[in-house]
Amino acid sequence: MRDRLRALEPDFWRAPSAHNTQPWTLTYAGDEAVIGWDPSRALPISDPTGRDLRLSLGAFVECCLIVCADAGLSVGFRPDPGPGRAGVLHAAARPYATPFRTADVRDRGTNRGAYHPGRLPDGLVAELAGVRRLACRDLADLLYAADLHQFADRDVTRELRAWLRLTRRHRRYLLDGLTDRALALGRAEAAGLRASLALYPALRPLGLPRALAAASRGLLDHDGDVLVLVGPVEDELGMGRVLMRHWLTLSRHGYAAHPLSQIIDCDPTRRELAGRLGIADPRTLLHVARVGRPVAPAARSARTRA
């Protein structure tokens, strides 16, 4: 099985991860493969609880199972959390039952560009378990507050900068992280962002966080939807699998997602969002994304395995 799984790794690696860190590892042992993560690819500053790490690992598990099933391999997943590990891919009696194919995994992508105006059909939202929907404009104030909070934090900004690849000359441009093209930035915008982040310590007291937050101010000022994934904090890995299925469902219908995790990374905006949704425990808000029909396709994100 090891050789067959190894051959499928480039498709497993199409799973999404926060900052495109691709934190997962696959360690083969006999007929099994342990799914773990590389601590040097976690985000200890911006994801201190490991929520996005576990969601990303869950998305990876789901991708592995879908891709194996499409290749006719009978592979299952057994959660087995421990230090640096999430669980095990093992031989199963039959292939994983899923409506999705490898082609769906390849076709999905985050799209941070413009979306056509309009809300998602009710029937489609009803298919997405654990999802609450809000109008984009109703969250514009929270996005600005969260962006300001994020960019005012030196350490969060430094960690983000380490995963930005804003010029094609970056040595990891084709491997991981967030490229200028994935962020839908033009050449001048990318150069401006690079320069301002390089000068962050000097420019921070002069209002750089405000300028950076202002750049995404218009993002939710349109007729569209934001989806919030709500679920048990103790099963973030399982919810990552759910999130992956949601993104594949949306993608099959011609929709794309643009996550806005900063809204739930920042305590005050997370509490405010929970209040607006009438949810008692803000920790159960696991993911937030703008969703819509993109005006143009997104650039394909980089991967270490291709």
- Rg (C-alpha) for the chain, rounded Å, is 19
Which tokens belong to 45? 């500053």
Choosing from 11, 52, 225, 236, the residue that interacts with ligand FMN (CB under 6 A) is 52
Cβ atoms of residues 255 and 231 within 8 Å: no
Which tokens belong to 113? 């560009």
Of the pair 87, 246, the CB lying nearest ligand FMN is at 246
Rounded-to-integer distance, Cα 209 and Cα 218, Å: 16
Q: Which stretch binds ligand FMN (CB under 6 A): 55-63, 82-90, 197-205, 221-229?
A: 55-63
Q: Which stretch binds ligand FMN (CB under 6 A): 117-125, 130-138, 188-196, 258-266?
A: 258-266
Name residue 32's beta-bridge partners: 29
Which tokens belong to 125? 């939202």
Of the pair 34, 246, the CB lying nearest ligand FMN is at 246
Which tokens belong to 42? 């976690």
Choosing from 178, 208, 229, 291, the residue that interacts with ligand FMN (CB under 6 A) is 178
Q: Which stretch binds ligand FMN (CB under 6 A): 13-21, 34-42, 73-81, 127-135?
A: 13-21
Does 109 sit near ligand FMN (CB under 6 A)? Answer: yes
Choosing from 12, 56, 86, 148, the residue that interacts with ligand FMN (CB under 6 A) is 56
Of the pair 34, 156, the CB lying nearest ligand FMN is at 156
**Min separation Cβ 110 and ligand FMN, Å:** 4
Which tokens belong to 120? 């998602």
- Collapsing DSSP to helix, strand or coil, 232 comes out as coil
- Collapsing DSSP to helix, strand or coil, 53 comes out as helix
Cβ atoms of residues 53 and 204 within 8 Å: no
Instruction: Identify which of 195, 199, 171, 200 has the alpha carbon closest to the alpha carbon of residue 185.
Output: 195
Of the pair 74, 284, the CB lying nearest ligand FMN is at 284
Chain residues that interact with ligand FMN, rule: CB under 6 A: 16-20, 52, 55-56, 59, 109-110, 112, 178, 182, 258-262, 301
